[in-house]
Structure 1
């Protein structure tokens, strides 16, 4: 079998793999990019982009239900052509995929981009497409796929994941979504708003990965008004004629289709990670350093959704850059560099947005932390928009006043979450943030109100006499 040598072999051409390739190219190293399965990123094909297209359609259509109170006539006659809506989602999805491929792998020669499944023979020896590639360093960025329990696979096309959802040409009249994390909740609400009789199930008592009990309670109350949520009991599926029966605790119902959204598993089957010679964890992934992405002390680096650590596009990109940088310089005999990771940021694009930034509720020490909060009900801008529902909770160190984190559900949450993320990244305090200008009337005034509540609970106080104004020096 022929063997060729390269500086770096990258397995996987998704977000992490492409970012790794960018670093290797920048370092001027020889490389090969290998991809098994569909090309293009998970985000563009079956993830964040097509789901946001569906969310936008569902949100726009849903507005008809409360336009009447604004004096807008004719709203009750609005209809949704579901096949056309789904075709629009697919067209946008194809556009996003084409853009990714057009700017990355479309024009790469076959000796640099190999479309086939790779297998490790040794830590730096890979077999793929009838040849062996000897690399000085390897990046594993093979991504993940939806988890479907083996007993459920017998239900065929009646049980789908997001891999099949965006291929549908029409929607069923009844559907259950099992798993109410980010994907399940976003898609479940969207399908309900598009006319599907939806029911949600999750075996835990939290939705969207929320850890703050106050935010979780508000989220359940708000989302539960749009489609029933059954929490705290594992769901079972059985066949009943052409339909599927979903049972969880005392709840049982028949549906045409089930959306399985209970998690994702790493794409490592057939990769031969046993050849690395290091122990593999329960998910089949070897231990790695999240600041260097290095696997043990090997010339092997791992990045992106395959790790299961932070399965979000911007995190996959960051991990890919770290892995690619270290793989490229490892080829020169340089020890891997360790990088500080960015402030964690999670956004669920359901309506209202559910967001988490920085330290989570479960990370806080009650003795040293303070919490400020505000309900969105009295926020003027939110009231004008007809979206004054939700809560924002902000956490700070009680002694220093430094902002630690936040969890929230509310309108324009994606924007508030970014502001808070940048604040935490800069290490700002409650007092410093309150001295920032806040316009009126804007959604950001909700954050301002939560900060005032928080400021009263931290030990550090402004000595200038006015909380939000900084005195001039003599």
Structure 2
């Protein structure tokens, strides 16, 4: 046996939310896996994504709840004071706890199943590790995730230009942050920071907002959240420079006059790119597109004509934890069964933004409807919904979509109270292929937020 060669049935590059489920599927199939990770273990979700962001959001929500107590007749004699250092200490401690759970699972794996080193392709089926060893694999899964995109325009700012990964290592809250982009990350972090007392400005180069496609729901979301975010849409950045420890950024909106402001940081949330460059895919016979990314079948995740599979965020399709995990399981099963690969069923699409009010999309939302004349839209205005009004959370709009021909439920978009829970119920109904009349036969307790779903479904039938 050559000590400089590691042989395995399936090499999995990336030990994140997709790579770990892929490893388990290969192991379950009785094959020898090799889980390769060139960076820190712990998954992007636990380390810099889902979990630490929700910790920051939870702190911000506690402040917002106290500030709204007066509406219930509860008088706070002194305004709440945000201790930024204490907030960030809890975020880091709890973040490290979540990461620790994942690291413990990885460290419990047999040593022969792990390689903690960056790798690159030498040729088809052969990888070279940073320590000089070669990995020979019959099949390979690419689950390398993504890396933040830092546009050249902001590079003069140096360490004042940050991405969401950097926020969770802060030891205190800054005084001011410019957020570039009003997608999910921009809205969630921008709103949380603003409620924690940070002066926030959000710039977006278009009129989009939190990926909402339904024009009425998007308009409702902008009306509700834009003031706290100090949102500027259709903004064109005109100048970026650094003055000492301040970022100085100028922009114009809709062709108007230039505005210039100073910030402690510029948080760039305008996108992430698949982390593939270091692998040198050009040394293989994999078919690559014009951006150097593998061409693959989205149904099976197999690279065309190759025993190679993509899984998770690296696919560029769904940057959502449960989708990445599903991808990992799908890629692991197909890699183990190769060449007998199968298109495995997907769950109903569900996306949630943890703003307040929350935002959700089910079934791809309005953008997935196709012919609008074949669809009817049911609505509920949360301002008049009973339980929402009781809790002083009666803001927002829910749209449900129904196909006219057979009254099949197609999806929804919403901003409003408990959207994360409303979204789950509607996603379950979509996956079960229920009609709107089927859904109206289900129980709705009084008084609950869920009664708003019934109102919207009835409106669709009308």
Give the TM bin, normalised by the shorter chain: over 0.9
- Distance across 1 between alignment mates of 2:93 and 2:171: 12
Gaps of 5+ in 1: 457-474
* Counterparts of residues 65-214 of structure 1 (less than 5 Å): 65-74=67-76, 76-103=78-105, 105-128=106-129, 129-214=131-216
Report the alpha carbon displacement of residue 264 of structure 1 after superposing the two structures with TM.
Answer: 0.6
Q: Secondary structure at the match of 1:195?
A: coil
* Counterparts of residues 293-332 of structure 1 (less than 5 Å): 293-330=301-338
Distance 1:368 1:189, change over 3 A: same
Kept after mapping to 2: 8 A contact 1:68/1:75: no
The 10-residue stretch of structure 1 (11-20 or 33-42) with the greater mean CA deviation from structure 2: 33-42
Residue 252 (str. 1) matches residue 242 (str. 2):
no
CA RMSD in angstroms comes to: 1.4
> What is the aligned counterpart of 2:418 among 407, 412, 421?
412
Distance 1:276 1:396, change over 3 A: farther
Report what 2:10 is aligned to. Answer: 8
> What is the aligned counterpart of 1:356 among 354, 361, 374?
361
Q: TM-score of the superposition, structure 1-length normalised?
A: 0.93
- Distance across 1 between alignment mates of 2:335 and 2:85: 46
- Distance across 1 between alignment mates of 2:152 and 2:285: 29
Kept after mapping to 2: 8 A contact 1:152/1:237: no
- Distance across 2 between alignment mates of 1:282 and 1:385: 52
Kept after mapping to 1: 8 A contact 2:10/2:137: yes
Q: Secondary structure at the match of 1:377?
A: helix
Distance 1:63 1:311, change over 3 A: same
- Distance across 2 between alignment mates of 1:152 and 1:110: 42
* Counterparts of residues 272-421 of structure 1 (less than 5 Å): 272-330=280-338, 334-364=339-369, 365-421=371-427
Q: Secondary structure at the match of 1:407?
A: strand
Kept after mapping to 2: 8 A contact 1:123/1:299: no
- Distance across 1 between alignment mates of 2:394 and 2:164: 31
Q: TM-score of the superposition, structure 2-length normalised?
A: 0.95
Question: Structure 1, residues 328-368: CA drift from partner, whole Å, max 9, x if none?
Answer: 122xxx42111122111100001111111104212321121
Report the alpha carbon displacement of residue 163 of structure 1 after superposing the two structures with TM.
Answer: 1.4
- Distance across 2 between alignment mates of 1:12 and 1:147: 19
Report the alpha carbon displacement of residue 81 of structure 1 after superposing the two structures with TM.
Answer: 0.9
Report the alpha carbon displacement of residue 175 of structure 1 after superposing the two structures with TM.
Answer: 1.3
Report what 2:56 is aligned to. Answer: 54
Distance 1:236 1:178, change over 3 A: farther
- Distance across 2 between alignment mates of 1:258 and 1:289: 37
Question: Structure 1, residues 81-121: CA drift from partner, whole Å, max 9, x if none?
Answer: 11001000001100000011112x11334432111111112
The 10-residue stretch of structure 1 (231-240 or 132-141) with the greater mean CA deviation from structure 2: 231-240
Report the alpha carbon displacement of residue 240 of structure 1 after superposing the two structures with TM.
Answer: 4.6
Report what 1:447 is aligned to. Answer: 453
Question: Structure 1, residues 237-285: CA drift from partner, whole Å, max 9, x if none?
Answer: 5225222122221433221211111111111121011123233234432
- Distance across 1 between alignment mates of 2:108 and 2:242: 50
